[in-house]
Amino acid sequence: MNDIRRRLQIFFALFVTVALAGTTGFMYLEDLSFIDAFYFNIATMSTVGYGDIHPTREISRLFAVLLIVMGGATFLGLVANGSELMLLNRERRERIKKINMVLGVFFSEVGLQLLAVFSTYDPDADHLRQRLQITSRWTGREFRVAQQGIDRHSCTIDMTRVNLAVLRDLLAGRRNFMVRLLENPVLIEHESFAETLLAIFHLTEELSYRPDIDHTPEADAKHLAGDIGRAYQSLLNRWLYYMENLEEHYPYLFSLALRVNPFNPQATPVVSALPPEN
């Protein structure tokens, strides 16, 4: 899409350049006023040819032919790239809707629960909770600040807080659901979400391959801490992205998402106060 925008900018610049050059040329060659020259130039570039103004000199006729060729080419390029950009923007909005639907199902089924569990393993979770007290008054600026906070957060896992058997059973119970999500073609359009699912699925596989998970060597526990931290970090990023998109496009879904925020200890899905009357 960036290539199309760049081409559109180039064609727009060429169109303006040709229009200015044509207007200036007709003012000089045909001794026209700026308005008449501009009108004549646009009529020539668009090949309309009303005939009320026409070239009276041979050099003007040759200049008009040049404008027809160059003006027509730049105008067609401008229209073609503008139309393509509009179609791509429309397709992008449709993809975002589908991605948000998949993200909503994912967080309802497993994502929010995993965030809540992973945060209990995080010794610095209190600092993270302070940054993620999202409200309905948040704007893009607040979300950017929160994203910077997540990027700086180490997502360190204290393995003394982790019950690997419980975590393994939790992930195993959601395994079929996550496999079906990985098969969803919408994920091809959202590579970062696919990477989040793969990180969680990898953790699920790591835990499922250990028959005696209650007696994990120190080196293996350190390895699992890295896998949990990777899934935790990726899940945090996808959740914040999901919340920002809901706030912008789906206020009613955002309202529920605020009330089940896993980083807000006071969050409850139950609406406890009526909205103010007008």
pLDDT digits 0-9 by tens, 89-117: 787 777 777 777 888 888 888 999 999 99
Q: Is residue 243 part of a domain?
A: yes
Q: Which residues of 4-15 are buried (b: 16+ CB within 10 A; e: fewer)?
A: beebbeebeebb
Cβ atoms 238, 196 nearer than 8 A? yes
Of 88, 109, 140, the position where a domain reaches its end is: 88
Q: Say if residue 113 is in the same domain as residue 79.
A: no
Give the C-alpha separation, 95 to 244, whole Å. 16
Q: Say if residue 132 is in the same domain as residue 107.
A: yes
Q: Say if residue 105 is in the same domain as residue 78.
A: no
199's tokens:
């990180």
Q: Say if residue 83 is in the same domain as residue 196.
A: no
pLDDT of residue 273 exceeding 70, the answer is no
Q: What pLDDT, on a 0 to 100 scale, did the predictor assign at position 229?
A: 95
What SS3 class is residue 212? Answer: coil
Q: Say if residue 170 is in the same domain as residue 67.
A: no
Domain that includes residue 110, residue range? 94-259
Q: What pLDDT, on a 0 to 100 scale, did the predictor assign at position 208?
A: 92
Of 37, 67, 88, the position where a domain reaches its end is: 88
Residue 233, Cβ neighbours under 10 Å: how many? 17
Nearest in space to 242 (alpha carbons), one of 186, 185, 192, 195:
192
Q: Is residue 265 part of a domain?
A: no
pTM of the predicted structure, to 2 decimals? 0.69
11, 131, 143, 156 from 152: Cα distances, Å: 42, 11, 14, 12
Q: Is residue 274 part of a domain?
A: no
Q: Say if residue 130 is in the same domain as residue 248.
A: yes
152: pLDDT confidence band, cut at 50, 70 and 90? very high
For a pLDDT cut of 70, what percent of the chain falls above it?
Answer: 95
pLDDT of residue 277 exceeding 60, the answer is no
Q: Say if residue 138 is in the same domain as residue 188.
A: yes
Average pLDDT over residues 110-126: 92
Q: Say if residue 121 is in the same domain as residue 189.
A: yes
Q: What pLDDT, on a 0 to 100 scale, did the predictor assign at position 134?
A: 93
Average pLDDT over residues 249-278: 79
Residue type, 12: F
Q: Please, which contacts does 46-50 make with residues 24 or more away whose CB atoms are closer than 8 Å?
A: 46/71, 46/72, 46/75, 47/72
- The rounded mean pLDDT for the chain is 85
Q: Say if residue 145 is in the same domain as residue 209.
A: yes
Residue pointed to by tokens 């027809």 = 68
Q: Is residue 276 part of a domain?
A: no
Q: Which residue has the higher pLDDT, 230 or 28?
A: 230
124: pLDDT confidence band, cut at 50, 70 and 90? very high
Number of domains the chain contains: 2
Average pLDDT over residues 210-217: 87
Q: Is residue 44 part of a domain?
A: yes
Q: What is the pLDDT of residues 38-71, one digit of tens each?
A: 888 888 877 776 677 777 888 888 888 888 888 7
For a pLDDT cut of 90, what percent of the chain falls above it?
Answer: 31
Output the CA angle 224-230-233, nearest 5 degrees: 140
Q: Which residue has the higher pLDDT, 102 or 186?
A: 102
Q: Say if residue 45 is in the same domain as residue 140.
A: no
Q: What pLDDT, on a 0 to 100 scale, did the predictor assign at position 171?
A: 93
Of 60, 88, 116, the position where a domain reaches its end is: 88
CATH number, residue 35 = 1.10.287.70
Q: Say if residue 60 is in the same domain as residue 133.
A: no
Q: Say if residue 79 is in the same domain as residue 39.
A: yes
274: pLDDT confidence band, cut at 50, 70 and 90? low
Q: Is residue 266 part of a domain?
A: no
Residue type, 224: L
Q: What pLDDT, on a 0 to 100 scale, did the predictor assign at position 14?
A: 84
109, 115, 116, 117: CA torsion to nearest 10: 100
Average pLDDT over residues 199-211: 92
